[in-house]
Chains A and B, each alone.
Chain A
Amino acid sequence: MKDNKERQEETTQIIIFKLGEEEFGVNILQVREIEKLDQGITRVPRAPHFVEGIINLRGEIIPIVDLRARFGLTLPELGLNSRVIIVEVGEAQVGMLVDAVVEVLRVPVSAIESAPTITKGVDSYFLAGVVNIDERLIVLLNLERTLSPEEEKELSEVELGDEL
């Protein structure tokens, strides 16, 4: 009985944030911290277009990725609720610029489904899955793909190929 119950409760924690009005999520284990953006972002010329720049996080240089630019979404400018979610991808630390951080949600692993081709305008290539819970649709990001600068090149090449 007990075993059964535990299996039912196998859950994972997800940090939910907003880009525009849409809700996205990342696995809490990949998140190092969440910061208010109380300093300017220093632009880095010749960096990939979705890299907004770098910030000084207590003496460390952290690159900041604008997820809206990454997904090709056009959305309102940064506001009071804007946050930087510092995540760890491989050995690198990257800050993701988001419009608001909503909550930490515990979801059963069984509620995570694979993502359809395009969800809320985001290519499924960037997604780890979707969670459908209490009539909310939360899109889980595949951080490795979302933040990898190398993939960008390949992607644009693929797109180019499609257009031709």
Chain B
Amino acid sequence: MDVSQYLNVFMDECQEHLQSLNQSLLVLEQEPDNMEILNAIFRAAHTLKGASATMGFNKMSNVTHAMEDVLSLLRQNELEVSAELINVLFAALDLLEVLAQGITEGREEDVETTGVIQSLQKFVAKELKSEPGPKTEPGQKSERRQSLELRYLPLEIEQIKSAVADGSNLNHLHVHLQEDCLLKGARAFMILRELETHGDIVRTIPTAKELEDEQFEDDFIIGILSKKPLEFLTRFLEKMLDVQKVEGEVNDPEALLVERRGDGAQAVASDVDQQKTSHTKATSNVSPTVRVDIRKLDELMNLVGEIVITRSRLEQLSWEQEDQNMVETVEQLSRLTMDLRDQVLKTRMVPVDHVFSRFPRLVRDLAKETRKEIQLEISGAETELDRTVIDEIADPLVHIIRNSVDHGIETPEVRTAAGKTLPGTVELKAYQAGNSVVIEIFDDGAGIDTRKIKAKAIERGIVTSEDIDNMDDDDIMNLIFLPGLSTSEKVTDISGRGVGMDVVKTQITNLGGIVEMSSVEGEGTKFTIRLPLTLAIIQTLIVQLGNDVFAIPSTLIDQTISVDKQDIKRLRGREVTVYRGEVLPLVRLQEFLEVKEAKNADLDELDVVVISNGERRVGFIVDTLVRQQDVVIKSLGTYLGNIPGIAGATILGNGKIALILDLRSVA
């Protein structure tokens, strides 16, 4: 079967299931008796097994099959949730992730799975030894059988009675599918369809919908009104593919069990009941969704960008025409365009939970590895960010969290000795602030010793000792974002190789974001990351310089001020002024941009755009401030590549190009 066209769908679903398995396992570790979670885990493993087998990924289906065996023992209370078991399940999960990776790279077969499968099978074998043959115990079968009892609504009973009077029989057919049957949902659907040629199906347990969605084990019951003898029906079914066996009986319409509307869930016996309720719980707050290729959204965004630009152009024209009707219509169009833009932007937004949800597992594993007691507190996981930003932010966050666990939080002994609480806390917080999203990572660990940073920085030749004397604590802290500086005394597996923080900084800066760190020795460390909501459309301040206009992203602007020529002084050959009681270095923008026709040298009153790069501020002198404007970022393309200080270009309403400036590299 050619499955290549389904591969993307499969991989997407696979990732979702792995994600949910990860989360559920973490909960199960805390609440071993949580049946609902156990069911959720079982379902996820089960679905993965079916899907991977259908796609022909045998290794993945073998691993999930082994997991399923263990999980089903857990569900039947024949196995206890133990730390060892959880670890093995986590190991299996990691293996599945490796397999998924292998599948995308087309080398699933190379992944070694026997070790994990064996350790999973050990649990099943152990169980079978201690309690011989629990699976084939007859009592259990009948119990299951009972749990699949058919019940009818009063209306249906009326229908049955009249049909029976007409010469039909009510048959209950209990169909068992082969255990290794693939696409059971489809098979069940086929069976029902074929069977309908011989009578009217009144009811099935589970419901036809659930059968189709594969929400059943290997068996189901059909209640069918038919004039054909029972014998015929059972044999008819048994001849169908994947049917293992069929048990049937003719029922007396007078002795049927009645299901009252409303309390159906209680009336149906436990097993099915539980599956049903937990299922509705899981789906009730999820609205229907459509999967869309992110590239299509990118294209949509581009088109909206074009419309936004054309709209500005139209606005300009309508003002020039001075036709009131025209102006009003264009205004209406403007509003619609903005709504459209907002909606398209929203479709690209994803909750940060997409990234955050993997951290509980990360912290758990790291804590085990380093023998520390750590609890992770997450808040604001529902905060939304553009999909492209979400994809890029994961790596830097992982790095910071690793650092917090490894270098931040102390060992339990040290914490106790210092009179600190156990467990240590790592806090992950996201919230929206204006046009940015802020992510904070705080740990209540040892904090960072500025003296150590100083010593390391001098030792590695990153700064001179004179430089250090001129730096305040914040400056020194932020030295850790420079390449080649790691303050950990011992190099560990987790972090501390001196690569990392500079990479973190680069990655976040590339996203148009800012990262800062603050730390109090003995109390903890906090990283603050500020990210733009979206990368596609940004709010800018348009400034004029000579004959050209430039766009400066508003997120980078601290403030715009007006400075009298008199107030500009020279300090060490640089122009400076005093702003909020501090010395503010000034740069004439034309010097950086090599613009010859700039006029600000002749002005008495200067417009200054103050750019903040973390704690640092620099004022850029322009000719005039033009206006605030939302612009669509266009890349300069691969040909020009990265030019420092230039983030891209945008096309203004008049069709002219304005460069978008990222002045942080200058600041």
A residues lining the B interface (CB < 8 Å): 39-40, 42-47, 51, 54-56, 59-63, 89-94, 147, 149
Contact = CB atoms under 8 A, between A and B. Distances in A.
B657 A54 contact: yes
6 contacts: A42-B649, A45-B592, A45-B645, A54-B657, A61-B649, A93-B637
B593 A45 contact: yes
Main secondary structure of the interface of B (DSSP, over half): mixed
A63 B645 CA distance: 17
B232 interface: no
A61 B548 contact: no
A149 B641 CA distance: 10
B659 interface: yes
B651 A56 contact: yes
A61 B657 contact: yes
A63 B649 contact: no
B637 A44 contact: no
Which 8 pairs of residues, A with B, have the shortest CB-CB distance?
A: A92-B639, A42-B657, A45-B593, A45-B594, A92-B638, A61-B634, A63-B639, A46-B643
B636 interface: yes
Contacts of A89: 639
A40 B656 CA distance: 8
Interface in B645-667: 645-646, 649, 651, 655-659
A63 B637 CA distance: 8
Given A43-B548, A61-B634, A149-B640, 4 more contacts: A47-B640, A51-B640, A90-B638, A147-B639
B643 A149 contact: no
Contacts of A147: 639
* Max chain A Cβ within 10 angstroms of own Cβ: one of B592, B635, B639, B646: B639
A47 B651 contact: no
Nearest to B640: A63
Contacts of B658: 42
B392 to A, nearest CB: 21
Contacts of B56: none
A59 B645 contact: no
B102 interface: no
B306 A59 contact: yes
Measured as residues with beta carbon below 8 angstroms from the partner, the interface class of chain B is: 20 to 34
Contact of B635 (A61, A91, A94): A61
A61 B659 CA distance: 11
Interface of B: 306, 309, 548, 592-595, 634-641, 643-646, 649, 651, 655-659
A142 to B, nearest CB: 16
A153 to B, nearest CB: 12
Contacts, number: 68
Contacts of A55: 657
Contacts of A62: 637
A46 B657 contact: no
Nearest to B645: A46
Contacts of A47: 640, 643
A56 B651 CA distance: 7
Contact of B646 (A45, A60, A149): A45
B656 A56 contact: yes
Contacts of A92: 637-639
A54 B548 contact: no
Nearest to B309: A59
Given A47-B643, A55-B657, A63 B651 contact: no
A91 B638 contact: yes
Contacts of B637: 61-63, 92-93
Contacts of B594: 45-46
A43 B598 CA distance: 14
Contact of A44 (B306, B634, B635, B636): B636
Contacts of B640: 44, 47, 51, 54, 63, 149
Contacts of B649: 42, 54, 61
A59 B308 CA distance: 12
B486 to A, nearest CB: 33
B548 A46 contact: no
Contacts of B656: 39-40, 42, 56
A69 B600 CA distance: 31
Contacts of A93: 637, 639
Contacts of B655: 39, 56
B640 to A, nearest CB: 5
A1 B548 CA distance: 64
A131 B573 CA distance: 58
Contacts of A63: 636-637, 639-640
A59 B651 CA distance: 7
Given A44-B636, A46-B643, A61-B637, A56 B592 contact: no
Nearest to A62: B637
A90 B659 CA distance: 24
A44 B646 contact: yes
A149 B593 CA distance: 20
Contacts of B643: 44-47
A45 B593 CA distance: 5
Given A45-B592, A46-B645, A56-B656, A94 B639 contact: yes
Contacts of A43: 548
Nearest to B549: A42
A39 B659 CA distance: 16
A84 to B, nearest CB: 14
Nearest to B644: A46
Nearest to B305: A59
A147 B640 CA distance: 11
With most chain A CB atoms within 10 A of its CB, the pick from B637, B641, B644 is: B637
Contacts of B641: 149
A161 to B, nearest CB: 25
